[in-house]
Chains A and B, each alone.
Chain A
Amino acid sequence: MMLSFFDQFMSPTYLGIPLIALALVLPWTLYPTPTPRWLNSRLLTLQGWFINRFTQQIFMPINPGGHKWAVMLASLMVFLTSLNMLGLLPYTFTPTTQLSLNMGLAVPLWLATVIIGMRNQPTAALGHLLPEGTPVLLIPVLIIIETISLFIRPLALGVRLTANLTAGHLLIQLIATAAFVLLPLMPTVAILTATVLFLLTLLEVAVAMIQAYVFVLLLSLYLQEKRL
């Protein structure tokens, strides 16, 4: 069977069981749960420090009413970062390369921010669809444009994460294949390609964390707009 470069993105199944479920549950098994002890282990302390620091950073500009989203967004960040980073290991499957999963995360959360905004302050939520001081002739045009930009948000959220992860994995596979094929033919070029591969892997580690952060940051910004 000829393998193509896109086979790595096919959702794996074994005897009819979708293994993506296993891939999604795996991050949960890797993180220790807090203990009732006064002083936790170093790993647990580091984990707690990171989550607290991150939650503080994200929720600083948000009104107290929006702080009930803290658990959701902090856990989403940890979840996405773990999935993205685990996907960089060889022979693993990255669930966040699936558009269905990313849209499944983006659409409900974005919709929740819109519904909350409409429910708490409908006048402001609708009024923000027209920028202040718009010339009269441009009013209908801008309203349509702002409405389209509102509905494009979940699409952009999902596709951004999918495209970044997919492109990164594809590049890694392409350059690794090139380095491997070139090794017997042109060893010097193969070494250069391997160097590029190493740098690309470092970049992908950064992208894995950054894309998870951007996803959560944008959701928090959409929440902030609603001024809960």
Chain B
Amino acid sequence: MGGHDAGTQHQFTGFAKYFNAWTITGRRNCVLLTYASIATIALFFKLKPKKEKAIKG
């Protein structure tokens, strides 16, 4: 098994600096982003206006 990586060897830039699967803060941010995305999708479908069905004569 590989040893625990403190994340000091990884030099991330840009988006990967904040969202990666190596550093503890990167992993935390990925988790928070996933939860926020799920909450957003759930909220979107909950607040989406329901289309009224057209009454056929």
Contacts and interface: CB of A to CB of B under 8 A. Distances in A.
Interface in B40-54: none
Nearest to A144: B34
Q: Is the contact region of chain A dominated by helix, strand, or loop, or is it mixed?
A: helix
Contacts, number: 45
Interface string A99-140: 000000000000000000000001110111111111110011
A148 to B, nearest CB: 12
Interface residues of A, number: 18
B30 A130 contact: yes
A133 B22 contact: yes
A126 to B, nearest CB: 4
A80 to B, nearest CB: 33
A129 B38 CA distance: 15
Interface in B1-37: 2, 4-5, 21-22, 24-25, 27-28, 30-32, 34-35, 37
Contacts of B4: 132
Contacts of B37: 140
B12 to A, nearest CB: 12
A127 B22 contact: no
B21 A132 contact: yes
Contacts of A139: 21, 30, 34
Given A132-B21, A133-B22, A123 B28 contact: yes
A51 interface: no
Interface of A: 122-124, 126-136, 139-140, 143-144
Given A136-B21, A139-B30, A143-B34, 10 more contacts: A122-B28, A126-B28, A127-B24, A127-B25, A127-B27, A131-B21, A132-B27, A133-B2, A134-B21, A144-B34
Give me the 8 closest cross-chain CB pairs, A-B, nearest first. Answer: A127-B27, A130-B27, A127-B24, A127-B28, A134-B21, A126-B28, A143-B34, A129-B31
12 contacts: A122-B28, A124-B24, A126-B31, A127-B27, A129-B31, A130-B30, A132-B22, A133-B21, A134-B21, A135-B21, A139-B34, A140-B34
